[in-house]
Amino acid sequence: MRFQTPLIPGRLIRRYNRFLSDIRLDSGEVVKAHCPNPGAMLGLKDEGLKVWLEPNDDPKKKLKYGWRLVEFENGHWAGIDTGVPNRVVKEALEARQVAEVAAYETVRPEVKYGVGSRVDFLLTQDGLPDAYVEVKNVHLLREDDWAEFPDSVTTRGAKHLAELSEMVAQGHRAIMLYLVQRTDCGRLKMAADLDPKYAAAFAKAHAAGVEMICYDTTISTEGVQIANPLPVVTPS
């Protein structure tokens, strides 16, 4: 997934009201940017962080900048836009870059399933069971190279796990794909201290046969692409 316009750098002043941020551009100008992330953003909203914004000239948008990336002092990157993972995964699924489902040719996004829900992707292929794929954005790192999910309570996420379990019970494949929008992580675990109910739902879904997979990404000011599979800690 490539960004539509060249990104410009700045320094974070503050992120507030969940969807707003103030950024000081390298020119010294202070601008207001859309923050496309309703989560806690632990470690990604500290004052002074180097950030990258995507400008736009869309007359329908009130804000002319969108916050896309954090560039850390150690050279690593994090993507903060929670809308990016589905776009990245869609490209990867269509290019058959996700090994676990590379045999599937047809990729359909936003298909109704469960109770009032839409699965991120429904994959179909003659001779194979339908595969229901949900995608979750991951960008929390608190220790070593551990990516963690979630970074705040997600009742909706637990609901998705239950709905995927029901798809398994109906004879389909169900996959929870965690996409790590960071370049400094090597493995994934659940942040049970931040959302114990989600961790319990994860364990229950895993026991029911939901496949838990994780991929990291390559990130630059050009765009974000899927990269390598990462191990996921699951209940034994």
- 117-140: buried (b, 16+ CB within 10 Å) or exposed (e) per residue? eebbbbbeeeeeebbbbbbbbbbb
* Cβ atoms of residues 226 and 95 within 8 Å: no
What's residue 57's pLDDT? Answer: 84
What's residue 196's pLDDT? Answer: 97
How confident is the model over 203-218, as a mean pLDDT?
98
Model confidence, pTM: 0.96
pLDDT tens track for 9-28: 999 999 998 899 999 999 99
pLDDT tens track for 104-115: 999 999 999 988
Number of residues written out for the chain:
236
When pLDDT is cut at 50, 70 and 90, the band that residue 116 belongs to is: confident
HEC per residue, 191-214: CCCCCHHHHHHHHHHHHHCCEEEE
Domain ranges, ordered by start, for the chain: 8-79, 84-229
The enclosing H or E element of 65 equals: strand 65-71
**Residue % of the chain over a pLDDT of 90:** 94
Over its C-alpha atoms, the chain yields an Rg (Å, rounded) of 18
What's residue 228's pLDDT? Answer: 97
pLDDT tens track for 42-93: 999 999 999 999 999 888 888 999 999 999 999 999 999 999 999 999 999 9
DSSP lists the bridge partners of residue 136 as: 178
DSSP lists the bridge partners of residue 229 as: 215
DSSP lists the bridge partners of residue 188 as: 147, 232
* Cβ atoms of residues 164 and 129 within 8 Å: no
Output phi, psi for 100, to 5 deg. Answer: -65, -25
Q: How far is CA 192 from CA 39, 221, 224, 231, in A?
A: 16, 33, 28, 17
d(CA 190, CA 182): 16
For 8-79, the fitting CATH number among 1.10.10.10, 2.40.50.580, 2.40.37.10, 3.40.50.2300 is: 2.40.50.580
What's residue 220's pLDDT? Answer: 98
84-229: CATH class: alpha beta
